[in-house]
Every structure is written in C-alpha cells, then in structure tokens.
Amino acid sequence: MKEWALPVFGIAIGIGASFIGLGGGFLIVPFLIALGYDAQRAVGTSFLAVLVIAVSATVGHARFHAVDWKTGLLLGVGGVVGAQIGPHLLRSVPTLVFQKIFAIVLAALAVWMFLRK
C-alpha cells in the first residue's frame, strides 16, 4: 500500500471515531493485519494512531462542552492499569487466534447494541 493512502484512511477513521465515540482501533487493527502486520504490532501501532485521533476528537467535543472530564479521567486511570496488563496477555496469543477473538468481540458488541432498547 502506498504511504499516501494511510492519511486518507486516517481521515475516514477520524471522522467515524469522533462521530460514534470509538477510538478507531476496531478499524485500524484489521486494516494493519490485512497489510501484513502481526497482531502485536497492529495493536501497538493502532494505539499510537488512536492516541492522536482521541486527543483531536477530545478537543473537538470539548468545544461543544460535551466532555465529562471527571468521568473520563477516572475511566482513564483504570485504563492505564489495564493497558499495562493487555500487552503481556497479547504476547502469547498467535495472530490467527487474535483475529478470531477480535471478530467475536466485535460481533458480540454489534448484537448487544442492536438488541438493546
């Protein structure tokens, strides 16, 4: 893939992520795996992209006073702890197994969101 296409894909992810509140990792990780990245590198690279997207989206939403800073920071503190555990768990998961787990999680979330009232 040409490097010029990566920012174009990033624009699409940024729009979607800031619109629906998802960091974009659910799109970036499969995209990077399709480009030949192993699961560990795809996830790690995705987090860097998501960080940049999330900071920008936070600024955009803050302009509309649509950020609950206390709740976000408290969730973030817990997330920092979990984010240190996750890579250790992922190291022992082969890419093909990771892809199946990732797909199941996404499908379960989609069903849950579709069926909830």
Domain extent listing, the chain: 5-115
The whole-number pLDDT of residue 77 equals: 93
Q: What percent of the chain has pLDDT over 70?
A: 99
pLDDT surpassing 70 at residue 1: no
Yes or no: say if 38 and 63 are a contact pair by the CB < 8 Å rule: no
Confidence of residue 15 (pLDDT cuts 50, 70, 90): confident
Torsion angle of C-alpha atoms 41, 37, 101, 90, degrees rounded to 10: -20
Distance between CA atoms of residues 44 and 46, nearest Å: 5
Distance between CA atoms of residues 22 and 27, nearest Å: 10
Nearest to 23 by CA among 60, 51, 43: 51
Q: What is the pLDDT of residues 20-76, one digit of tens each?
A: 777 788 889 988 998 999 989 999 999 999 999 889 999 999 999 999 999 999 999
The whole-number pLDDT of residue 78 equals: 94
pTM of the shown model? 0.76
